[in-house]
Structures are given as C-alpha cells and as structure tokens.
Amino acid sequence: MEDKAQIQEAIKSQGEVVRKLKSEKASKEQIDEEVAKLLELKAQLGDDGKTQFVLKTPKGTRDYNPKQMAIREKVFNTIIRCFKRHGAETIDTPVFELKETLTGKYGEDSKLIYDLKDQGGELLSLRYDLTVPFARYLAMNKITNIKRYHIAKVYRRDNPAMTRGRYREFYQCDFDIAGQYDAMIPDAECLKIVHEILNELDLGDFRIKVNDRRILDGMFAVCGVPDDKFRTICSTVDKLDKMSWEDVKKEMVNEKGLSEEAADQIGEYVSMQGGMDLAERLLQDHKMSQSKQACAGLSDIKLLFKYLQLFHVTDKVVFDLSLARGLDYYTGVIYEAVLTQASAVSAANEAQNGANAEESVSVGSVAGGGRYDGLVGMFDPKGRRVPCVGVSIGIERIFSIMEQKAEASPEKVRTTEVQIMVASAQKNLLEERLQLISELWNAGIKVGVWQGGVRTDQGGDTVNNPTLRVWVPCVSTRGSSVAALSGL
Amino acid sequence: MEDKAQIQEAIKSQGEVVRKLKSEKASKEQIDEEVAKLLELKAQLGDDGKTQFVLKTPKGTRDYNPKQMAIREKVFNTIIRCFKRHGAETIDTPVFELKETLTGKYGEDSKLIYDLKDQGGELLSLRYDLTVPFARYLAMNKITNIKRYHIAKVYRRDNPAMTRGRYREFYQCDFDIAGQYDAMIPDAECLKIVHEILNELDLGDFRIKVNDRRILDGMFAVCGVPDDKFRTICSTVDKLDKMSWEDVKKEMVNEKGLSEEAADQIGEYVSMQGGMDLAERLLQDHKMSQSKQACAGLSDIKLLFKYLQLFHVTDKVVFDLSLARGLDYYTGVIYEAVLTQASAVSAANEAQNGANAEESVSVGSVAGGGRYDGLVGMFDPKGRRVPCVGVSIGIERIFSIMEQKAEASPEKVRTTEVQIMVASAQKNLLEERLQLISELWNAGIKVGVWQGGVRTDQGGDTVNNPTLRVWVPCVSTRGSSVAALSGL
C-alpha cells in the first residue's frame, strides 16, 4: 500500500511538471519526455488502481436522467420539425473519423480534439463538429446538392463550465445547404431557421449578429494587418464577446505584434453595428471601399438583408463588424445568435432563490454558422468546390435554460407515457393481471403496473394525472375485451 | 518521397511482426517492444502522411445516407413505441466512460474495447455496451427501481463483417428492468418485448432461445468441470452457433484442458432443446438434480414458461441448453433471438439477383440479454445489489435486412416530408416566391423549392407523389392566405 501511495505522489508531482512545461510553452521534445515519464508511472499503478475507484462520469460529461431526456426530446422535436419544414433530409456519420480528416480544419482549436489510442490500425479522433464530417461525406459520395440536418454529439477537450451548459461531450443540431444557388438565398434561409427555432423554443429575446469573413479580411487589409496575420488577428477579434476592447487590443499589439495604429483602426470598425444602412455606408467608406473583398461582402450583406425583410426577420438581425467566429473554414457570411435577456430563466431563478440571477444566465451564443465554400474541396482529390452554408444550434445551453425553467415550474415533467395503471391490492390475481396487461399491450396501450406495492412506472406523476385510469382486475375482468380502450 | 515509401514498407512489415506475435500469444513484453517500434515508425511519417490521404470512414464504420436514415427512423419508432407501451423511461450516458468502469466486466471480450489516448487527465474508453453504463448509473444515483430504455451507439474493435451487419460502431436498443420483483415476471416481460418487436418489424420467422447461467454452471459441476474453468468452458460452449460440436469439444479438451469424459457429458446436455417439459425432465435427471444451482435455474425456467403461456408467446420460445452467451456479468436467465428463415430477404434477393441468397442472409442473433443481479453491486461502494434483467435489440442486423428489402421493393423510400413544392419556370418572381415560401413555413407546412431548375428537395419522389402539390406563384398569389393549406 505504501508503494502505491508513493507512486501516486510521484504521479501528482510529475503531472505538475508537465503542466508547468506546457504553460511555459516548452519545446515539444522536452514535454514529450516528461509525459513519457508520467505514463510510465501511471502504468506502474496498473490494476492496483482499482481500489481507488471513483464512481463518476468522465470530466465534462454527464448522464441524462429521464426528466432531462423528456425535456431533450421536446427540444429536439421542435428543432427537427423546423428542419423538416424546410425540406431537409438527415444523415449520420461515425463518432470518430480518421485523424487526418480533421487535421488542418480548426486552426488553434485543433488542440482540443480527442484522439483515440493507437491500438493497431488506423489513427482515429472523435469528431469535433458535424461540419467537417459533412464535407467529408459530400466529397466521398460526390454529392453537389443537398439540404440536410444532422443531430449528434461532438467532442471537445475544452475547459468545461457545466452550470453554463458547456460540456466536453455535447449535442449539435446542424442544418446545412450545399450546392450552387443565387447569392444569399440559402444564407437567408439559415437565418430564418434560427429565427423560427428560437421563437418556438420561447427562450426570451434574442439577437442574431451577422458579418462576413470577406469584410473582416478586407478590413484587416485596409487597416494594415500583414496577410499572414489575418487568421490570428481574427481569433483575437473573436474574443470581443468575452474581453474588453482594451484587452483585445493589448493581445493584438503585445502578443501578436500588430502596430498600435492598425489596432486602433480595427477598433473603430469593430465598434460598428447596424443593418442594411451600415452596409451601404461602408460601401462608401473611403478606406473600406479600397478592398474588393470587403465590397463583395458588403454587397452580399445588403442582399441578405433584402431577403430577410421578405422573411420578416430583420427585427432580430444586426450587422456587427466585431463578429469573427474562430473556425478556420468560413469563407463568407458568418452569424451567431445570442440571448439578450433571459427573462424566463431569471424570473424562474428569482422565484426560486429570491436572488438576482443575472450572472447565472449568461449562456452566451445559442446558435452559429456561416458559409464555407472551400471545405468540401479540401477533401476532393481534384479540389472540386461545393459551396455550402449552414447553422448549428447550440442545444446544451438551451437545455440548461429549459431545465431551469422546468425546475421552477409547478408542473411535473412526465417521463413515461403510461395511459393505464394495472394494480391489485395484494399479490393475488397475478395470472389475471398478467393476462390483462398482455391484452392491453397487444392493443397498443401504454401500461404501468403496481405489483404488490412496487410501482414499475417511475414517472412520478401517475397519481395526479387526470387522464390516467387505474384498473384493478377482479375475476370478472377475465376475458374482458380491451378493444373499447384502444381509442385512448 | 523514397524515404517515405521505405518507412511505409517498414510499417507494413513491422505490423505483420506484431500481428504474428499476437496470434502466437507471445509474452506481453515482447509484443509491447515490437508495438513501440511500430509506433516510432508511424511517428516518423508525421505530417508527410497527408499526401497519402484516403477519403473514407474508419474501418468497420459507415455513414448513413438519407434513405438509410429514413429506414432507421422507422425501425427506431417501432421499437420505441414498444418500449413506451411497457411504461419505460429513457436515459442517456456519455459515449466514453472511465476506463476502470469497464474493467473486469466483459471477460475475454475486454480486448475489443476502444481506449482513448492519454492526453492528460482521466483514462477513458468508449462504451462497449449499454448495460455496464446503466449499472454504473444506477449505483451512482442510488436508484433501486427503474424500467428504462436506452438507444445509442456502442463500440467494439471486432473483425467487421459489414455485409452481414457487423460493425465496429453500432446501435444497441436496450430495455432493462431493475428492482426487486416476484421471480421471472420482469424476465417474462423482456421476452414478450422481443416477441412484440420482431413481430412488428415483420422480418420473417424467429426463435427465442432461453437458458440459465445457473443451469450451465450446475451442468458444468455435475459433468466434472473444475470450478475455475466454468467461465472459459462457458465461452467455448457459446461458440456452438458458429462451430460444430466436434470443434467445440476439441477446443475444450485440447486448448482448455478438459477431460474427454467431461466434454462428452456436456455434449449430451447441450444437444437438448424443449420447453417446460424439458425443464421438468431435467429436474428429475439423476445427475442434474444433484446441483442445487441447476435446480433453482430449472424451476425458474418452468415459472418463466408459465408466464410466457399467459402472454401467448411460447410458440417462439425454446429452452436450449447450448445457449451460453459470452458476457461475464449474467447470473440467471439468458436468451437470444435468431431469425430462422429470412423469407422476405431471400425472396427479395432472389428477385434481384436471381441467386440463391441463403448465404447472404445468415444475420444470426438479432436480440439477446439476460439477468445480471451482481453488476450494480460491483459499482456500489457497499456492494448493495440491485437485481436487473434486460434485453438488447441488435438493430444493425435488422437494418441490413430492412435495407435489402427496401432495395428490392418498387416503392421509393421518402427521405423528406415535403408537402408542397414551390416552383417557377425561370428565375423571375423571386421575391414573390420567397414571400410565399415564408408564409408556408410560418403556417407549419413543409416546403420544397425548385429554384431555376435546381431542386432543393432531394427526396427523389416528389414528382410521383400524389399527395404533393406544386405551386407556381404568379402575381396574383401575392398576399394570398395560406391558412387554407394548414390542414395539410
């Protein structure tokens, strides 16, 4: 036992050595060397580790209990109904991809990818989103035109913040349109979808920010950002929703080596918000109008707003030059939806805790997406491009809100759909009960059972449910027809 | 380039070295050493491997296209409807568990578990089934009574046979009843569920084999198998559905060191099949009746058949002493459903290929399960037991059959639910079209669009669908009300 404690102590301190080296950005060789020592120590523990057994789910993950599943099902149904209304088909892809399929698609976020252990055979990684597998699917099957949705779990070795709905395993609900269309028509449809879903889920007021990668790139160019710094400066701009402009500027100048002047010019632009009018104004802007790219983006933003007017959704959409989005693969329009108030939740929280719940409701972005015209081409052996635009609903944050709402509501969440309870006071009449239940099942009726005091229906709401009938069979029910009940 | 080719050649031959050592069951040290060399070679390839990029899904996995998804949805709905009819709730668990959660639960199959790479933090493995995570969930949440279903993907590094529906990533549909009940009542319900589902899915005739771990253990005891050989001999008996008795006997005697006499006695028993009568006969059997365990199992089989008679499902159930099932955690009744004819499929195949399709339809087991009263206790810090019984529907094999049926059927599989197509002959009337579509969406109608010759509905069946209407907007449709359509 003492040996083991010593090894565990050694593991702990070796872990700290590794963490320190990583935070100091030490050389890869140096880190690898220390990691190897750590692994060796862990291996020494071997099977003895069993006594240290902890009953938990992995860090950043959770189980869903029946109540949470009932809420999840409701949210999914709303979303799927919307996707189907828009004529989408659905596909599914494996939870892991060849490691190389994911390589070079996520920029700085790549370090968050989960790899599988090399157990012989292919090197695999868990999917990081549903967009890259979708692009791989299109290229592999030579599909150039599809409107599809995909609802599945994705994996990110991020710092979890589970109370705010940030997990390492989480659902994404993606809707994408691939194919050649008139400019901005599928893009407008994606925004319409976000509008429909957030409206239907009734989560309180929201705002959809819109921008365009070409406008960002054009802006960087006219502000004097060197070409090779576009991506990294873009990542920094992306932090504006979490950091103040001062801190963002500091990162640009001190860490990324941008000139103070360029940073200040960027600062002017990224403070701008508006609608079609802003796009028109920027098309006249003496600096911005020098960039062809920016002008192309601005004209598309104008067109987009025209279609959004036809869809009657401009009330929620704002053209916001600070929106950047971290992922590498976007090429055109980008967007992100945020809840601007969380009235339902804060009211619920206040009712429950009597506290001002403002802090607890900063759930952040609940949907995001954009145009990625180059991604499919990265997979095609001949580089054939398939223009794509899509949106991903960040469902975990929505679950968090819905769960809080359900907690605060006096209404109980039903976790079964039981229509009839079959019961008997004691353990007698067992055969009659079983026969009756079997008849009910065969008639398609959802049955719960009380068996000698044990209720097999755990819905927790059967007693107070007015639509639920309780049947206590007696000898006379033998042979009774349940056909009359099948209308239930 | 030549360097790389050399390295790849070296990887290939080193891979063979490792495989050879494994097949020869060489010492762990020796294998580890050669694996280390292999990993080093792979590391040398590094990023250069990119040029070797192959567009595929990982070995043993597949994408589901919209047609397959439509079939999958239909099958899931049938199964979920049945589970709900039986009053079940649903839960979900993460796709990976702490490695130690899975350790020691699967016997010889443990080698098929996918591990995640140690990237710092916890050691994780992909779930191998849904039963062990369920037991972990019960122990963690101190739940002693629940009827739940869980439909999710599980992962096994097995030899894939994809045409026969055997994948490395595949769905399981599990239904389990945890809690203290009168003997054999939940067990009978599980068999009733298998009967209902296989009937409703209409896959052709099937047979549900039933046995009991206690009968097997008792049988091994009275046949003279040493206690410490029960599990390994049980694994060998489990192969009787794939191997002849002669080969099974050979493995018992030559590989596992059992006496020829003991093997022959086992051979006599495992050839027995029957119903309640066989259980009664074995209770009188002079050898079998010496085992208390076997008698307990046989009495339960009798009781089980009594309940199955009340449920009117005995026509498909057979008590079969050769049924063993590989997993370690079973403690009582075990069962497995097999398709005994694949009439629908072979007819379909014959129609398509004009060939005798007998070989292609050996889909094997389509459902299996049993009682595992000890598993939850393995997770409980105080070892508290929660009796459990459950069944898992092997859905991939069912998909394979349904897909073949759909292929052979003249009916097209619908992949969207589009009710109305909006079209225009040229690219004109765009604004009118968008406004009309938006109105239809808002009225809850599922819309497909023809845009300048591009159809965004890929269902492939819209043209011939009699319920589908095509709207070509003209100026007069402006402002038309779609309320009249919402009854669609």
Tell me what the mean pLDDT of segment A156-179 comes to. Answer: 90
Residue partners of A384: CB distance under 8 A and separation at least 6: A376, A377
- Does residue B138 carry a pLDDT above 90? yes
Tokens 């192969």, located at residue? B239
Tell me what the mean pLDDT of segment A138-144 comes to. Answer: 96
CA atoms within a 13 Å half-sphere pointing along the CA-CB vector of B91: 25
Which range of A81-90, A332-341, B395-404 scores highest in mean pLDDT? It is A81-90
| Maximum separation of any 2 CA atoms in chain A, in Å | 92
What would the two tokens of residue B305 be?
A: 């058949």
Which range of A257-266, B319-328, B414-423 scores highest in mean pLDDT? It is A257-266
Residue A4 to residues A41, A44, B123, Cα–Cα distance (Å): 10, 9, 18
Binary contact (B451, A69; C-beta < 8 A): no
pLDDT tens across B422-454, in order? Answer: 887 666 788 888 899 999 999 999 998 765 444
pLDDT tens across B337-371, in order? Answer: 999 875 444 444 444 444 443 333 445 789 999 99
- Residue A453: pLDDT band by 50, 70, 90 thresholds? very low
- Does residue A114 carry a pLDDT above 90? yes
- Does residue A348 carry a pLDDT above 80? no
Which range of A346-360, A457-471, B136-150, B445-459 scores highest in mean pLDDT? It is B136-150
pLDDT tens across B306-317, in order? Answer: 999 999 999 999
Binary contact (A312, B438; C-beta < 8 A): yes
- Residue A452: pLDDT band by 50, 70, 90 thresholds? very low
The SS3 assignment for B219 reads helix
Residues of B in Cβ contact (< 8 Å) with A441: 85-86, 192, 196
Contact present, B450 and B422 (Cβ < 8 Å): yes
Query: Which residue is closest to B153 within chain A, CA to CA?
Result: A95
Segment 216-235 of chain B within 8 Å of chain A by CB: none
pLDDT tens across A35-44, in order? Answer: 888 887 777 7
N-terminal to C-terminal alpha carbon distance within chain A: 63
- Residue A12: pLDDT band by 50, 70, 90 thresholds? confident
Smallest CA-to-CA distance from B330 within B194, B210, B157, B221 is with: B210
Helices (H) and strands (E) in chain A, counts: 16, 15
Binary contact (B446, A117; C-beta < 8 A): no
To the nearest whole percent, how much of chain A has pLDDT over 90?
56
Tokens 């845009």, located at residue? B451
Tell me what the mean pLDDT of segment B96-111 comes to. Answer: 90
To the nearest whole percent, how much of chain B has pLDDT over 70?
84
- Does residue A480 carry a pLDDT above 60? no
The residue with greater pLDDT, A304 or A426, is A304
To the nearest whole percent, how much of chain B has pLDDT over 90?
56
What would the two tokens of residue A147 be?
A: 């409107």
> Which among A67, A96, A445, A454 is the top mutation candidate for probing chain B, defined by the most B β-carbons within 10 Å of its own β-carbon?
A96
Tell me what the mean pLDDT of segment A424-443 comes to. Answer: 84
- Minimal Cβ distance to A50: which of B50, B100, B447: B100
Binary contact (B87, A447; C-beta < 8 A): yes
Smallest CA-to-CA distance from B387 within B397, B379, B377 is with: B377
Q: Are strands A365-371 and A388-393 parallel, antiparallel or unpaired?
A: antiparallel
Using the Cβ of B469 and the Cβ atoms of chain A, whether some distance falls under 8 Å is answered with no
List, in sequence order, every residue forming a beta bridge with B450; answer none if it has no partner.
B455
**Among A147-151, A323-327, A388-392, B349-353, the least confident range:** B349-353
Residue A292 to residues A221, A263, A330, A411, Cα–Cα distance (Å): 10, 21, 18, 57
Q: What CATH architecture is B1-45?
A: Orthogonal Bundle (1.10)
> Which among A85, A157, A419, A488 is the top mutation candidate for probing chain B, defined by the most B β-carbons within 10 Å of its own β-carbon?
A85
pTM: 0.81
Q: Rounded to whole angstroms, how far apart are CA atoms A391 and A200?
A: 17
**Taking the domains of chain B in order of start, what are their residue ranges?**
1-45, 66-343+362-408, 416-456+466-487
Given this model, what pLDDT does residue A448 score?
Answer: 84
Output the CATH code of domain A66-343+362-408. Answer: 3.30.930.10
Using the Cβ of A452 and the Cβ atoms of chain B, whether some distance falls under 8 Å is answered with yes
Contact present, A213 and A290 (Cβ < 8 Å): no
pLDDT tens across A193-237, in order? Answer: 999 999 999 988 999 999 999 999 999 999 999 999 988 898 899
Given this model, what pLDDT does residue A45 score?
Answer: 67
Binary contact (B451, A182; C-beta < 8 A): yes
Given this model, what pLDDT does residue B480 score?
Answer: 44
Residue partners of A179: CB distance under 8 A and separation at least 6: A144, A145, A146, A186, A386, A387, B454, B456
Distance from CA of B286 to the nearest CA of A (A): 32
- Minimal Cβ distance to A65: which of B63, B91, B427: B91
Given this model, what pLDDT does residue A22 score?
Answer: 82
The residue with greater pLDDT, B463 or A84, is A84
Query: Which residue is closest to A448 within chain B, CA to CA?
Result: B87
What is the average pLDDT score of chain A?
85
Give the DSSP letter string of A1-66.
Answer: -HHHHHHHHHHHHHHHHHHHHHHTT--HHHHHHHHHHHHHHHHHHGGGGGGG----PPTT---B-H
SS3 string of A405-450? HHHHCCCCCCCCCCCEEECCCCCCCHHHHHHHHHHHHHCCCCEEEE
- Residue B157: pLDDT band by 50, 70, 90 thresholds? very high
What would the two tokens of residue B452 be?
A: 């300048």
Contact present, A401 and A344 (Cβ < 8 Å): yes
Using the Cβ of A177 and the Cβ atoms of chain B, whether some distance falls under 8 Å is answered with yes
Given this model, what pLDDT does residue B19 score?
Answer: 84
Tell me what the mean pLDDT of segment A128-150 comes to. Answer: 96
Contact present, A365 and A336 (Cβ < 8 Å): yes
pLDDT tens across B11-46, in order? Answer: 888 888 888 888 887 887 888 888 888 887 777 765
pLDDT tens across B48-65, in order? Answer: 444 447 899 999 999 999
- Does residue A155 carry a pLDDT above 80? yes
Tell me what the mean pLDDT of segment B126-147 comes to. Answer: 96
What would the two tokens of residue A181 be?
A: 């269309």
Query: Which residue is closest to A418 within chain B, CA to CA?
Result: B87
Q: Rounded to whole angstroms, how far apart are CA atoms B157 and A444?
A: 39
